Amino acid sequence: MKLSKVFSTILAVIMFKTDVAADGFDCNGVIFTAAYIRQVLHVAFHTELNSISGWPKLFVPSTPARGHDGYREYPLLSSLEIWNGGGFSYRALLSPVGDTVNVYSDVDGGYECVSA
């Protein structure tokens, strides 16, 4: 791996940790901490695709778009435990290097959660 790629990867991870650590996500009062999102990111990218009740899933946008290659989706639990099967109402869309995270709720018709 080229040195410049190593530095850019490290920078992306640092930026992710800084942004998410400061923010986390608020889903109408359900808070997902930055530490929890980092744990979910690790599980989503270190678990074989579709191996836990069909998750983690490779994100496939409804309309083809560049920039989402390799993104994964993984369920979130309001208890801040790592999901390993069963029901859930929240999910994260995660980029491979962790620089982009979006959290969505399936409650009340579905919506995108906001940075806390």
pTM > 0.85: yes or no: no
Burial of 57 (0-12, 13-18, 19+ CB in 10 A): middle
Per-residue confidence (pLDDT) for residue 92, from 0 to 100: 96
Confidence band of 15 (pLDDT split at 50, 70, 90): very low
Strand-pair category, 57-58 with 30-32: unpaired
Residue 96 has pLDDT above 60, yes or no: yes
- d(C-alpha 14, C-alpha 20), whole Å: 10
CATH classification at residue 54: 3.10.450.30
Per-residue confidence (pLDDT) for residue 61, from 0 to 100: 74
Per-residue confidence (pLDDT) for residue 93, from 0 to 100: 94
Rg (CA), the chain: 14
Q: Which residue has the higher pLDDT, 92 or 99?
A: 92
Residue 19 has pLDDT above 60, yes or no: no
The residue segments making up the domain with residue 107 are: 3-115
Number of domains in the chain: 1
